[in-house]
Amino acid sequence: MIAEKKYTKPATIAEALTIAQNYPDDFAYVAGGTDLLVNKYQGNKECSCLIDITGLAELKSVSIDDSHLKIGSLLRLDELQRFEMIGNNFPALVIAAKEVASPMLRKTATIGGNILCENRCSFYNQSEWWREAVGYCLKCDGDVCIATGGKKACFSKFVSDTVPVLISANAKLELCDIDGTTIVNLETIYTGDGIKPRNLRETAILKNVLLPLDNEYEIVFKKLRPREAVDFTSLTTAVSLDKKGNIRIVIGGADPMPVLIEGQVKGSTEDYIKMALAKTRVVDNDYYSRKYRRDMMRVFLEQSFEALLNK
Ligand SMILES: Cc1cc2nc3c(=O)[nH]c(=O)nc-3n(C[C@H](O)[C@H](O)[C@H](O)COP(=O)(O)OP(=O)(O)OC[C@H]3O[C@@H](n4cnc5c(N)ncnc54)[C@H](O)[C@@H]3O)c2cc1C
Q: Is 32 in the pocket of ligand 1 (CB under 6 A)?
A: yes
pLDDT of residue 229: 83
Cβ(139)–Cβ(157) under 8 Å? no
Is the per-residue pLDDT at 2 higher than 60?
A: no
CATH 3.30.43.10 fits 1-53, yes or no: yes
Is the per-residue pLDDT at 4 higher than 90?
A: no
pLDDT of residue 267: 87
**pLDDT tens-digit series, residues 259-303:** 999 999 998 999 999 999 999 999 999 999 999 999 999 999 999
The residue ranges of every structural domain in the chain are 1-53, 60-116+156-309
pLDDT of residue 295: 98
Q: State percent of the chain over pLDDT 90.
A: 90
Sorted by sequence, the CB contacts under 8 Å of residue 211 that are 6+ apart come out as 68, 69, 71, 89, 90, 93, 166, 169, 170, 171
Q: Is 44 in the pocket of ligand 1 (CB under 6 A)?
A: no
Which atom of ligand 1 approaches the CA of 232 most closely? 8
Is the per-residue pLDDT at 1 higher than 70?
A: no
- Cα gap 71→254, rounded to integer Å: 26
Check for a shared fold between 1-53 and 60-116+156-309. no
pLDDT of residue 310: 86
Q: What CATH number has the domain spanning 60-116+156-309?
A: 3.30.465.10
Rounded to an integer, the average pLDDT of 109-115 is 98
pLDDT of residue 277: 98
Rounded to an integer, the average pLDDT of 89-112 is 97
Residue nearest atom 21 of ligand 1, based on CA coordinates: 114
Tell me the best of 23, 100, 236 to mutate to test the pocket of ligand 1, counting ligand atoms within 8 Å of each CB and taking the most.
Answer: 100
Q: Is 174 in the pocket of ligand 1 (CB under 6 A)?
A: no
Residue 100 Cα, ligand 1 centroid: separation in angstroms?
10
Looking at the DSSP assignment, which residues form a beta bridge with residue 7?
50
| CA-CA-CA-CA torsion sign (218, 222, 206, 87) | positive
Residue 33 Cα, ligand 1 centroid: separation in angstroms?
6
Which helix (DSSP H) or strand (DSSP E) does residue 166 occupy? helix 162-168
Q: Is 116 in the pocket of ligand 1 (CB under 6 A)?
A: yes
Residue nearest atom 31 of ligand 1, based on CA coordinates: 113
> How many C-beta atoms lie closer than 10 Å to residue 47's C-beta?
17
pLDDT of residue 141: 85
Residue nearest atom 15 of ligand 1, based on CA coordinates: 35
**pLDDT tens-digit series, residues 203-238:** 999 999 999 998 899 999 999 999 988 899 999 999
Rounded to an integer, the average pLDDT of 235-247 is 96
pLDDT of residue 74: 98
Q: Is 38 in the pocket of ligand 1 (CB under 6 A)?
A: yes
pLDDT of residue 215: 87
* DSSP 8-state code for residue 310: -
Residue nearest atom 40 of ligand 1, based on CA coordinates: 206
Q: Is 96 in the pocket of ligand 1 (CB under 6 A)?
A: no
Q: State percent of the chain over pLDDT 70.
A: 99
Is the per-residue pLDDT at 112 higher than 60?
A: yes
Which atom of ligand 1 approaches the CA of 223 most closely? 8
**pLDDT tens-digit series, residues 302-311:** 999 999 998 7
Amino acid at 73: S
**pLDDT tens-digit series, residues 124-161:** 999 999 999 999 999 998 999 999 999 999 999 999 99
Bridging pattern class, strands 27-30 and 6-8: unpaired
- Cα gap 80→47, rounded to integer Å: 31
Instruction: Find the helix packing angle between 290-309 and 269-279, rounded to 10°.
Output: 150
Q: Is 249 in the pocket of ligand 1 (CB under 6 A)?
A: no
Tell me the best of 9, 25, 35, 196 to mutate to test the pocket of ligand 1, counting ligand atoms within 8 Å of each CB and taking the most.
Answer: 35
Say if residue 113 is exposed, middle or buried (CB neighbours under 10 Å; 0-12, 13-18, 19+): buried
**Lowest pLDDT segment from 63-67, 89-93, 180-184, 234-238:** 63-67
Is the per-residue pLDDT at 110 higher than 80?
A: yes
The long-range contacts involving 190-194, CB below 8 angstroms and separated by at least 24 positions, are 190/158, 190/257, 190/258, 191/256, 191/257, 192/255, 192/256, 192/257, 193/153, 193/154, 193/256, 194/119, 194/121, 194/138, 194/139, 194/153, 194/154, 194/155, 194/156, 194/157, 194/256
- Cα gap 35→55, rounded to integer Å: 19
